[in-house]
Structure 1
């Protein structure tokens, strides 16, 4: 009897093992092969292998945008030569919409081949030439529709002579330049630098940080690594933990341009080759490092609920980019101050400049920070000559709001808590415990927890509307006064931007309700003469010679028509704030200031 039971159990185990093997064999799998046989032609070649997918057809999709850069970029426009094979035979592959290809797979294993033209230099797109290749996942890799959650492997085949590949993806042991991704989101969120770039490294909190440096630059590697380490260590202290076991900085040193884009465990930074040669340029680069590194928490993990999991087919709307980007800008400045790279006077000067910028923008009266966030997809990356009048940047406005909320918490807690505490709480509650993003209301409630009272009026007036805060009252909390040095001046102001790039003075912008606006001056007008005299330079240079109330007679060429416009000069209503410390701060102000800045000794 015992032998019969053992035989039955053995038989069941065999059946179960067979079922498991069969199921595993049937599980869909995806692999990518990325090659670049002719980099000087600016093409990447992609071979995608898919097995275990059932059904008569298989749809492959190319994203239309890159997370972190809120603009539909239509990456499918760069795809060429798409062809598909099923069971070894070429099969029909029809494009059914702007970014989807339908393959007549017949349930068989599929291989897809296509090329991607990559010749746009930015942190948001992909690029390849004879010197290096750079890949942003959403602009190169497709995914099977409805199957973003599937794991995949990626094999990179560098151009001959290229020996280095840098990416945040984990390596497949024993297979050169082969990497794995648990799902498409991770694959898409791991940029790749390919070529013969230098790689430096340092450790922060015991975690390896590598810096892939493409291009020549006037940097001192030893100094730069030490300073980047200090910046990253200071950033970690805000949240109290480092949520990765590896981090990669891809730094591209170029002739011109700049910027950065955050990723799950990496970032791409672009700067000029000479930026490290001056203190201003060097600290500007460290600020960029601090900004993108802070995104490791704020947006990549602590995020608005709309920003993940992503819909790669269309816009992902949120009112909260003023937190995701604005707070990150605020903390980048704060991190450099805490780390000792910025003096107190320089830091206060930067704070005052940010407030001045927001206060002087006509768009500040036309659009709220929440509206600016929601409209990022159609406004932030598509500015025109009137944007200054109608739009406010969620970077600058959000940075100022971050400062004000920091002051709210410091005041409400009697200097015991700061915005750091609210950020840690939100990170713990929504990323770590609930595994999701926060709603607008949940974010407000998280901050209120440390203020000790309702912030309903703050969010209503300053986040969702365009009311001007009393900036001075907020900064008093840390013993800082804000003074408008333009307050008692009576100077004229034209209110128009003028370019002489073509050799002629041409109007490029007109500020709402300013002198030029009210006098009828238009963008693209060429100013020929002023008060009977020929003009060949920027008219703004001559304005200080006049007084408020003077009338300028401008002769302009507007689309070939000669017009005479009387422009009455109005008073310059712009502000210019200067921040300074009170001579004798109170004990409460000292305590709040210490909690705010956390200065390192």
Structure 2
């Protein structure tokens, strides 16, 4: 009897606990879509005791700077289950507190959004484009609470929903297992096209790939686009040997191609959001679209599952600094173009020329000559679409981790091919097996350990000392040569003072624009961006053409007296001309087998 009562009591406690689980219901309506507004209701069921804290995010998955989404939330109010108003107060710019409440509360607010890209919210007469960190006010401390989200589409607009949220029997009602998943679910409501195709993974499971496109496009071009996306998907699988195990068995490409969209691409765990500023989409636009598709889909392995420790779980309340973006983004940048070449969408010559452009930036940027890729990665918290109004010195302190990492990826690939009869594909597969596939996150030391497993500990230690922890960049030439890539300075023998641009200042004078950076003759002489060039060896300068003409006939090593002015200060400085540097890469004959193994279909 006692045992039975104890058991019944325990069961009752379990049932009470189950009933007490907090759940979150969101409802989004768009009756003021023409004013770029949505009304969002958040109902909290079984609210925990004590004051409730609600907040908007300050950062977004895949974007590492802060973006202050709270600025577009207003008209916030709260009520209880009977509709009686509750006091809700703003305690910080993006934080609200509900001090007293019952078990059920509803918070309502208006959301403004008029930017269609991979980070923000865009609502207008044609669609509602929702990135969730910019959309959702969330309840602090309830990251694991189950979520239901209902979209109320405006009547007469024929909107449907494209998302990686978990579907229900109602096409406008979805769920998410918690906050982290919800925030990783970009959602498009519009009259879009949708096509599906199936792929069988190596474990025999069927996966559904969905392509949605909100754009003006002909039936034939649409069919070609879907076919091409499938080719990219299948080519990328070959690197890892299998697809990722997408949650709920689907992966969704969410594409917006409209004249009012901003160019962007953003990776998510089971989807990607791609926005492109285009009018009517034609076959001529295919390369631009596939460039972004290839990059973002590779992220479904590299960064969403092969994931740095520093950004898991993602912190929505601040910027998210990470040492490994040179791999997460840079290696993805390398593979996006490489795999389009292997799939036949780019020629070998186009791919090698692009690698030459990356190499040129890598060799000439102060950001790589004075700072490591780890330091470049850390600066994403300022550079990844971060907004500020003051000037910065990024030209001297930062090389994009996309370009930096793409160069390291290429150089490592060629090292492995020449010295170890392996490839960067082997390195990525090892990362997938040891980290991504088993949801184990990595750091820089883990990358070195993985490379040591493919080569030797000494080799991995030396490579990381030179290219990751250091700035040693002068041993790449024999590796390019070994695979038949000729790298040369196509400005050889020409005098210059740096790859600068020019602008016209307020007085109508020719002024230095971008490119006057550390390591250039102008910078060494004491000139800088904004300085007006008044004369060269006493000859007045009236246009940028005058400068180009003068330099085209000058000799390397010549010292030029440059008259300048800026902010009320005028003078003359001696500038010693150097050989201009502009590296380009070209395919060489006689290496067809090596190039096929690298750039050809696998």
Cα separation, partners in 2 of 1:278 and 1:490, compared to 1, 3 Å: farther
Query: Structure 2: how far apart are the matches of 1:540 and 1:261?
Result: 42
Alpha-carbon shift at residue 594 of structure 1 (Å): 5.5
Aligned pairs, number: 582
Query: Structure 2: how far apart are the matches of 1:491 and 1:562?
Result: 28
Pairwise mapping of residues 560-579 of structure 1 onto structure 2 (< 5 A)?
561=568, 563-566=570-573, 568-579=575-586
Which residue does the alignment assign to 1:523?
Answer: 529
Cα separation, partners in 2 of 1:569 and 1:39, compared to 1, 3 Å: farther
TM-score between both structures, scaled by the size of structure 2:
0.89
Which residue does the alignment assign to 1:210?
Answer: 210
Pairwise mapping of residues 185-584 of structure 1 onto structure 2 (< 5 A)?
185-205=180-200, 206-216=206-216, 220-242=221-243, 243-244=245-246, 245-255=249-259, 257-273=262-278, 277=282, 281-381=285-385, 384=391, 386-413=393-420, 415=421, 417-433=422-438, 435-454=439-458, 455-477=460-482, 479-486=483-490, 488-500=492-504, 505-509=510-514, 510-527=516-533, 531-533=538-540, 535-537=542-544, 541-542=548-549, 543-549=551-557, 556=564, 558-559=566-567, 561=568, 563-566=570-573, 568-581=575-588, 583=590
The answer on whether the counterparts of 1:62 and 1:141 sit within 8 Å (CA) in structure 2 is yes
Pairwise mapping of residues 100-111 of structure 1 onto structure 2 (< 5 A)?
100-111=95-106
Alpha-carbon shift at residue 332 of structure 1 (Å): 0.5
Alpha-carbon shift at residue 473 of structure 1 (Å): 2.1
Pairwise mapping of residues 34-113 of structure 1 onto structure 2 (< 5 A)?
34-88=28-82, 89-113=84-108
Q: Deviations over 1:406-439 (max 9, x none)?
A: 23333443x2x32222222222222333x23112
Q: Are 1:167 and 2:163 matched, yes or no?
A: yes
Cα separation, partners in 2 of 1:254 and 1:103, compared to 1, 3 Å: same
Query: Structure 1: how far apart are the matches of 2:546 and 2:162?
Result: 50
The answer on whether the counterparts of 2:561 and 2:573 sit within 8 Å (CA) in structure 1 is yes
Alpha-carbon shift at residue 495 of structure 1 (Å): 4.4
Alpha-carbon shift at residue 107 of structure 1 (Å): 4.4
The answer on whether the counterparts of 1:53 and 1:107 sit within 8 Å (CA) in structure 2 is yes
Query: Structure 2: how far apart are the matches of 1:340 and 1:235?
Result: 13
Identify which range, 123-132 or 87-96, moves more after superposition: 87-96
RMSD: 2.9
Query: Structure 1: how far apart are the matches of 2:576 and 2:378?
Result: 37
Alpha-carbon shift at residue 302 of structure 1 (Å): 0.6
The answer on whether the counterparts of 1:418 and 1:595 sit within 8 Å (CA) in structure 2 is no
Cα separation, partners in 2 of 1:73 and 1:201, compared to 1, 3 Å: same
Alpha-carbon shift at residue 500 of structure 1 (Å): 4.9
Which residue does the alignment assign to 2:125?
Answer: 130
Structure 2, unpaired ranges of 5+: 201-205
Q: Deviations over 1:21-66 (max 9, x none)?
A: 4332211111101111111212221100101122121111221101
Query: Structure 1: how far apart are the matches of 2:408 and 2:191?
Result: 43
Which residue does the alignment assign to 2:203?
Answer: none
Query: Structure 2: how far apart are the matches of 1:276 and 1:444?
Result: 44
The answer on whether the counterparts of 1:152 and 1:182 sit within 8 Å (CA) in structure 2 is yes
Structure 1, unpaired ranges of 5+: none
Cα separation, partners in 2 of 1:97 and 1:257, compared to 1, 3 Å: closer
Query: Structure 2: how far apart are the matches of 1:110 and 1:75?
Result: 23
Alpha-carbon shift at residue 595 of structure 1 (Å): 4.9
The answer on whether the counterparts of 1:385 and 1:508 sit within 8 Å (CA) in structure 2 is no
Query: Structure 2: how far apart are the matches of 1:363 and 1:538?
Result: 29
Alpha-carbon shift at residue 545 of structure 1 (Å): 4.0
Query: Structure 1: how far apart are the matches of 2:573 and 2:446?
Result: 54
Alpha-carbon shift at residue 153 of structure 1 (Å): 0.5
